[in-house]
């Protein structure tokens, strides 16, 4: 791969990928609306507002693949979500259609299905049950990926990321944790696969607690290596055990599902 674009490169996940993907492509084109510092060897930095279609077309032109992380990563007002996540994601797919149809990894979220109960094992046939406006925007992005593949042959991987952190910070993350190293390997497998079509994957490491089924995407060849189990004793010693009927335990979206409507609180 000659040039790989990462949108949202200044965000929590984007920062983790920047160094770890060095050398995977000849050039990493890094984009955000925040200062990304100086470009390192093999890097290009392009500040871009994803709500500006013309700017996004220029951003996408000449790339061989896109990791689309850009946009709001937590709940916000509808107007903010509209520009950052809905209009911005549309612009990425539309720019890809106009500039060579590069393969796209769309960073979705478990919050697109967060109202499903914890005891239900989710797979690629699981219907949307968003737990917040942020989750609604991810449902929109997943639908865009389907539309642009069916109509325009733009291959994409939709990754419903659980919790991509250096280590889990609460008990829920013992199930949802995705190590940065496992995510990087997933990215490499996605862009190296001879055929991708439009495939959804759940982003979680090989944790002891398993809520999600990726067997439908086995053809990509991704096999996570890390497990949150190494952090269990530490978390159980430092955090209280929740009750079985705590809403944050019952629902897969956790606190996102149990929070009030953002528009009413802000």
66, pLDDT greater than 90: yes
d(Cα 184, Cα 20) in Å, to the nearest integer?
Answer: 7
d(Cα 76, Cα 204) in Å, to the nearest integer?
Answer: 25
| Candidate list 134, 148, 149, 202, residue with the active-site label | 134
Average pLDDT, the chain: 96
- The proportion of the chain whose per-residue pLDDT surpasses 70, expressed as a percent, equals 99
User: Which H or E run includes 35?
Assistant: none
202 is catalytic: no
d(Cα 143, Cα 75) in Å, to the nearest integer?
Answer: 20
Output the pLDDT for position 259: 85
d(Cα 81, Cα 51) in Å, to the nearest integer?
Answer: 11
Cβ–Cβ < 8 Å for 84, 69? no
Owner of token pair 């699981």 = 126
Cβ–Cβ < 8 Å for 177, 204? yes
Per-domain boundaries in the chain: 3-265
Look at the alpha carbons of 183, 187, 192, 194 in this order and tell me if their dihedral is positive or negative. Answer: positive
Kindly state the tokens that stand for 2.
């000659």
Please return the burial class of 37, using the count of CB atoms within 10 Å of its CB with bins 0-12, 13-18 and 19+.
Answer: exposed
Please say whether the structural domain 3-265 has been given the CATH code 3.40.50.720.
yes
d(Cα 6, Cα 236) in Å, to the nearest integer?
Answer: 36
pLDDT tens-place string over residues 79-123:
999 999 999 999 999 999 999 999 999 999 999 999 999 999 999
pLDDT tens-place string over residues 181-207:
999 999 999 999 999 999 999 999 999
266, pLDDT greater than 80: no
Output the pLDDT for position 247: 83
pLDDT tens-place string over residues 150-184:
999 999 999 999 999 999 999 999 999 999 999 99
pTM (predicted TM-score): 0.96
d(Cα 99, Cα 24) in Å, to the nearest integer?
Answer: 22
| pLDDT, average across residues 239-251 | 91
């Amino acid at each position: 791969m000659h040039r790989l674009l990462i949108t949202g490169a200044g965000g929590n996940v984007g920062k983790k990928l920047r160094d770890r993907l060095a050398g995977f492509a000849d050039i990493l084109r890094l984009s955000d609306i925040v200062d990304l510092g100086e470009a390192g060897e093999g890097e290009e930095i392009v500040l871009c507002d994803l709500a500006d279609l013309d700017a996004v077309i220029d951003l996408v032109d000449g790339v061989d693949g896109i990791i689309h992380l850009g946009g709001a990563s937590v709940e916000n007002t509808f107007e903010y979500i509209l520009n950052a996540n809905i209009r911005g994601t549309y612009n990425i797919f539309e720019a890809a259609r106009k500039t060579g149809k590069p393969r796209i990894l769309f960073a979705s979220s478990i919050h697109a299905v967060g109202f499903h109960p914890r005891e239900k094992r989710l797979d690629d046939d699981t219907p949307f049950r968003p737990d917040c406006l942020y989750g609604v925007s991810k449902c929109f992005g997943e639908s865009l990926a389907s539309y642009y593949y069916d109509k325009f042959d733009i291959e994409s991987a939709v990754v419903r990321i659980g919790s991509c952190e250096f280590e889990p910070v609460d008990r829920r993350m013992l199930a949802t944790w995705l190590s940065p190293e496992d995510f990087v390997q997933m990215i490499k497998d996605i862009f190296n696969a001879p055929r991708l079509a439009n495939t959804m994957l759940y982003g979680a490491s090989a944790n002891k607690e398993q809520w999600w089924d990726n067997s439908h995407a086995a053809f990509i060849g991704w096999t996570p290596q890390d497990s949150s189990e190494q952090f269990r004793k530490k978390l159980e010693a430092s955090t209280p055990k929740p009750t079985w009927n705590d809403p944050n335990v019952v629902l897969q979206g956790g606190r996102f599902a149990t929070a009030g409507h953002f528009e009413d609180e802000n």
